[in-house]
Amino acid sequence: MRYLCFVYCEDGRLDTQTPAELEACMGEQLDYFAQLQAQGHGIAAHSLQPPETATCLRVRGGRVSITDGPFAETSELFGGFFILEAKDLNEAIRIAQQIPAARFGCIEVRPLR
């Protein structure tokens, strides 16, 4: 079964990191995903650009409304995701708890349909 792991981090958290700290964190994430791929668990992983680069659209009554920026005001920002292959939710959680970003953010594990 496949699971989507949303990676959230506190708003402003990345702004407090030095370039070297950010690079080290990204390196850890990439290394961990490479391990998951080698084990047959890693399907996809990507980080996202900052929320202010987002474009939101809605279709209501046949009309399209487009706005810039994030949809919701929140203290945690959606920063990226992993798609995992796991036999069940327990295995997905075991894998997700080792995602390096879990040390400073939140990982939401959700089964895909």
pLDDT tens-digit readout, 63-112: 999 988 766 666 677 889 999 999 999 999 999 999 998 988 899 999 99
Q: What does the DSSP 8-state code read for residue 18?
A: -
All residues at 6 or more sequence positions from 58 whose CB lies less than 8 Å from its CB, including other chains: 64, 65
Does the predicted model carry a pTM greater than 0.85?
no
- Please count the structural domains in the chain: 1
Rg of the chain over Cα atoms, rounded to whole angstroms, equals 16
Helix (H) or strand (E) holding 94: helix 89-96
Range of the domain at 99: 2-111
- Location of structure tokens 């409304």: 65
**End-to-end distance of the chain based on CA atoms, in angstroms?**
9
pLDDT tens-digit readout, 28-77: 999 999 999 999 999 999 988 888 888 888 899 999 999 887 666 666 77
* CATH for 68: 3.30.70.1060
